[in-house]
Structure 1
Amino acid sequence: MRYCSLGSGSRGNATLVESGRTRLLVDCGFSLRTTEQRLAALGLSARQLTAILVTHEHSDHVQGVERLARRYGLPVFMTPGTFHGMRNADLAFQPIELDRCFSIGEIEVTPVAVPHDAREPCQFIFDDGDCRLGVLTDTGTITPWIIQRYRQLDALFLEANYDPHMLANGPYPPRLQARVGGALGHLSNQQAAAMLAAVDRSKLRHVTIAHISEKNNRPDLALGELASTLQDWDGQLLLAVQDQGLPWQDISALPTYHFADTGSR
């Protein structure tokens, strides 16, 4: 299994998960043209996608979903609440049920219920039998259920949206500050770090920091907060950004050992 990001932040989000010949696009918050360009930069055409999965109906996650799906005949999976939240979307969709796994090609998908200010939001865990990848963004609170579901992952794509000091002293009006920092908003750097401290990291090889606010956070602050929690960890800490996204990252369920050939059998 491998994953990458076409871009992550308040101006658009799209994450790609691949195993074998199955390629799943999680959200499409960019225009059709931008999505096509960013896929091409990763060596792919939209014709090579298997399906689109939608976490929730906010525009930075669904702006390009309808046009991409129609142009390339792609099935779209989302909760019924998310579909109705898209307001008369001209789109046939495959309904999914929270916390009930289903399979698309070579990947088993588990939609996980999360607290966010949307109609029926979810995030996803992907399992191809060898590796497990969790995507967890747009979540206001880390619940015990999330901790339970996101245990024993090989990789985690995790939101660290804001720094509380920057949010409190930034350009957002009080009402928007309360929304972002509330129980149905987004995860702060500190909440993301607490999530990492709480989960079983024995198999975890990759952590990608995602959905960083351009106005209420800085990459160095997010990296510093999470790195302090991961001091005893020997995996990779990565960063998905708004304009460049994140290149392909391969996930290995087990370490690969290279032995010298001694000539004996």
Structure 2
Amino acid sequence: MSLRFASLGSGSKGNATLIESQQGLLLLDCGFTIKETVRRLQLLGHQPENLTAILVTHEHGDHIAGVGPLARRYNIPVYMTHGTAQHKGVAKLPSRHLINTHQSFHIADIEVTPVVVPHDAREPCQFVFRHRQKTLGVLTDLGSITPFIVQQYQQCDSLMLECNHDSRMLAMGPYPPSLKTRVGGQWGHLNNIQAANLLREIETDPLQHLVISHISEQNNTEMLARNAIVEVYGDDQPLLLAKQDQGFDWLAID
């Protein structure tokens, strides 16, 4: 089996991504209840008992709320940074692995590389996954692009990329000023233009799949996000969207 990935859902109401190889099935984040997670896993042909491990990017509720309950009920190992592990919701896990953000590691036959990102959490990171010379990058929940991030996502065969908000919609929208400042700041979330600018700096020719992720329901539209990305990426390759209510089905990296 080649490396493949799917989304249970992506957005401010809950996030979870599956990454599968021949020997491993990883769940990246879990912001849903146990019942909802099980339902969405079943839609993708899996049960919680099939999971090799759960990885956590950071401690915000839409990413971590379901991690502790799911891990405790089904005895699933959890991998996270020292900072994320301070969150009370992931206390008393059956198997906890603290990761060094400067060092790659393996879970089953998948190489996992943490990538430090600027986000308003204790010790947040995103991840790059490798299996049999194929690479999947997942990059959401960050407020700005650093040279280190550009370097780490340079050689992806598939990429899930945050297009959280349109700056004008955010400025004119219903959020209170403090939240607008947080979301639009350097430690918040990527806007459409920032996401597009990352694509200018990395090699996009190898990309088999590019997935717009973590899109705001209040401060963005699919059309605005797509238009910003297409301007850089072009429209001759498929551009997918990870939705809040249904995520997306399996995508194989050949």
Q: TM-score range by the shorter chain?
A: over 0.9
Question: Displacement, 1:243?
Answer: 0.2
**SS of equivalent residue, structure 1 residue 55:** coil
Matched, 1:99 2:70: no
In structure 1, stretches of 5+ residues that fail to align are: 253-265
2:249 matched residue in structure 1: 247
2:45 matched residue in structure 1: 43
Question: Displacement, 1:236?
Answer: 2.4
Question: Displacement, 1:85?
Answer: 3.4
> Among the aligned pairs, what percent are the same residue?
54
Distance 1:167 1:97, change over 3 A: same
* Correspondence list, 1:36-115, <5 A: 36-86=38-88, 89-91=91-93, 92-115=95-118
The runs of at least 4 consecutive aligned structure 1 residues that moved more than 6 Å come to none
1:11 matched residue in structure 2: 13
1:166 matched residue in structure 2: 169
Question: What CA distance in whole angstroms lies between the structure 2 residues aligned with 1:192 and 1:205?
Answer: 18
Distance 1:87 1:66, change over 3 A: closer
Indicate the structure (1 or 2) with the bigger Cα radius of gyration. 1
Q: Is the 8 A contact 1:57 1:86 kept in 2?
A: no
Question: What CA distance in whole angstroms lies between the structure 2 residues aligned with 1:125 and 1:244?
Answer: 23
Question: Displacement, 1:41?
Answer: 0.8
Question: What CA distance in whole angstroms lies between the structure 2 residues aligned with 1:241 and 1:208?
Answer: 10
After the TM superposition, which of the residue ranges 155-164 and 196-205 deviates more from structure 2?
196-205
In structure 2, stretches of 5+ residues that fail to align are: none
Please, what TM-score do these two structures have when normalized by structure 1?
A: 0.92
The residue type paired with residue 220 of structure 1 is M
Q: Is the 8 A contact 1:152 1:202 kept in 2?
A: no
Deviation string for 1:185-242 (max 9, x for gaps)? 00000000001111012311111000000000111111111011112x7432110010
Question: What CA distance in whole angstroms lies between the structure 2 residues aligned with 1:219 and 1:78?
Answer: 31
Question: What CA distance in whole angstroms lies between the structure 2 residues aligned with 1:229 and 1:70?
Answer: 44
Please, what TM-score do these two structures have when normalized by structure 2?
A: 0.96
Question: What CA distance in whole angstroms lies between the structure 2 residues aligned with 1:138 and 1:112?
Answer: 12
